[in-house]
Amino acid sequence: MSTPHAYLKELEVAIVAVKRASLLTKHLSDTIVQTAKSGTLTKDDKSPVTVGDFALQAIINNAIKSNFPDDEIVGEEDSLELRENGDLARQVSELIAKIQKETAEYDDVVGQLSSPDEIYKSIDFGDSKGGSSGRFWALDPIDGTKGFLRGDQFAVCLALIEDGQVVLGVIGCPNLAQHIVSNKEHSGVVGGLYSAIKGVGSYYSELFTSGFVPLEKQKRISMKTHSDPRELKVVEGVEKGHSSHSTQAQIKAQLGFDPETVAQQTINLDSQVKYCVLASGQADIYLRLPISDTYREKIWDHAAGNVLVYEAGGQVGDVTGKPLDFGKGRTLDSQGVIAANREIFPKVIEAVKEITK
């Protein structure tokens, strides 16, 4: 029997839904890697990424609404394109039917979808505008599109937000090894599930085990308290179009990183898996400097990772150090994202301000 804690039912639904979705994305990503050798796939192809986004949003939204009918959902997709494209709708329906058959033991927890109309309706539950009051979920079905297409890192990310505060986060990382030492050194079980509940803690378990695993059977994770530049590791995105790598290099220099070793101390990963590596104590700093003054981050790209890092003993803020505010709508009304262990966070913010002033 599970130990009572806040959001017990919400955690079970989120974990089982993310597990079902992660199995689907793993199959899709592996298929892409096999077929991409004959050509280049992009999100504009209306192919595997698009099909996966629609299928996952339908599955996870249905799981939430089946259990918490009054909850709202902030999602990326709506069903208009599916309604107008019969071939795409067929692919999504077939993919959902396949994964539901393979994971039929999950139906009691997350339900199932059996018709195109149910799929369209479920996708459209993701139309919430968010806000500072009430309760809603933030979903990113496939976070890290380019990593997904490369067969590299991507994640299924789901968070629960109450009155503007992230209170629960679950991240499924199908291709993430348990141990990340550097860009080239990964080891251990591949496929991780990272969960956090506000006031309860952050936890790791293997992603591809069957069913719901209660927290007492998961591994509690926490950040280290490194502050010496020789010990610090930084996680950054792979894509230079997502954050300013040149500015981030200057910040690392400002913090005292050795030019001879800074490359080995920097780990490049797509998606919110960066938060997972940070929360599990395998890195100390996450830098995401804005590439323009006008760009604003989407809340679904950071909500789950935010609570994961806080509950692991870390701190998250914008480039000024101010905590991220998830109650301003579908985007964050701030610039950039900085996360770090609490020991080094103030120094990182000082360095960011110095370099970007």
For residue 317, the SS3 value is: strand
Consult the annotation and say whether 142 binds a ligand.
yes
Question: Using CA atoms, how far apart are residues 184 and 24, in angstroms rounded to an integer?
Answer: 27
- DSSP conformation class of 298: B
Consult the annotation and say whether 140 binds a ligand.
yes
Question: Using CA atoms, how far apart are residues 164 and 157, in angstroms rounded to an integer?
Answer: 18
DSSP assignment of 154-213 equals: -EEEEEEEETTEEEEEEEEEEEEEEEE-SSS-EEEEEEEEEEEETTTEEEEEETTSSS--
Consult the annotation and say whether 228 binds a ligand.
no
Q: Is 145 a catalytic residue?
A: yes
Consult the annotation and say whether 30 binds a ligand.
no
- DSSP conformation class of 330: S
Q: Is 266 a catalytic residue?
A: no
For residue 223, the SS3 value is: coil
Out of 50, 53, 103, 284, the active site residue is: 53
Consult the annotation and say whether 60 binds a ligand.
no
- Closest to 158 measured CA to CA, from 177, 142, 134: 142
Torsion (CA) 32, 36, 40, 45 in degrees, nearest 10: -30
Out of 145, 325, 331, 356, the active site residue is: 145
Catalytic residues: 53, 145
- Residues annotated in a binding site for Mg(2+): 76, 140, 142-143, 301
- Residues annotated in a binding site: 76, 140, 142-143, 301
